[in-house]
Amino acid sequence: MRIVIAGGHGKIALLLERRAAARGDATAALIRDPAQSDDVREAGAEPVVADLEAIDAGELATHLTGADAVVFAAGAGPGSTAERKDTVDRDAAVLLADAAAAAGVRRYLLVSAMGIDSPPAPEDDDSIWAHYLRAKKAAEVALRARGDLDLTIVRPGRLTDDPGTGLVRLGHVGGEPPVGYGEVPREDVAAVLLALLDVPASAGAVLDLVGGTVPPADAVAALTP
């Protein structure tokens, strides 16, 4: 499998790249800063310098040719402005979808966030966090409205850098029983993403993810036909 990962130097992305390389998958990491190239190579991925806030969909599509799937794991990150929540967390997710469609790549995994279904209205809360939630929600809405993607959305709870446990709780948003809010190590998020890529039938799902008691592959299998 060939996977292209947006936000390729992010914490989840690097963990996903290591896991994919360990089993023989080829990954390309889209990065903005060429200085990140060595870290990406060390994780087993091919660095591709592509600034998602500057590149257009046509040029980005040339980097996706031959991919089996794309993963959007990019984010403006802590300390960024409200404007960059829009340009990265929202607009870059849509840009990657446009480029994927142009390159003939249907499979798309979006790393989103819990709590976005009821973000504060702008007039009620203009905090950076509220802006982030609204940007993530807007990205989901835009991608779910498309008919040219086999889209899976993963909404992790509070992310930690703790070692992965290899055990998660994964469930459909709005499903019963609800997953509930909680923490999840980024390493376990990466494991779930890789498991979802192995199961095309997971396309169309919007999934909550926290730490739990079930191995990622089993958790994914339990939710798909």
- Condensed to tens digits (0 to 9), the pLDDT of residues 87-99 reads 999 999 999 999 9
User: What pLDDT was estimated at residue 130?
Assistant: 86
Q: Round the average pLDDT of the chain to a whole number and report it.
A: 95
What's the mean pLDDT in 192-217? 97
d(CA 53, CA 60): 11
Percentage of residues in the chain having pLDDT higher than 70: 100
Q: Residue 6 and residue 94: Cα distance in Å, rounded?
A: 12
Residue 161's domain is classified under what CATH number? Answer: 3.40.50.720
CA torsion sign for 116, 121, 122, 128 is negative
72 has a pLDDT exceeding 90: yes
Domain count, the chain: 1
pLDDT at 161 over 90: yes
Tokens coding 194: 């890789």
Rounded distance between C-alpha atoms, residue 196 and residue 84, angstroms: 28
For residue 166, give its domain range.
2-223
pLDDT score recorded for residue 131: 86
pLDDT at 61 over 80: yes
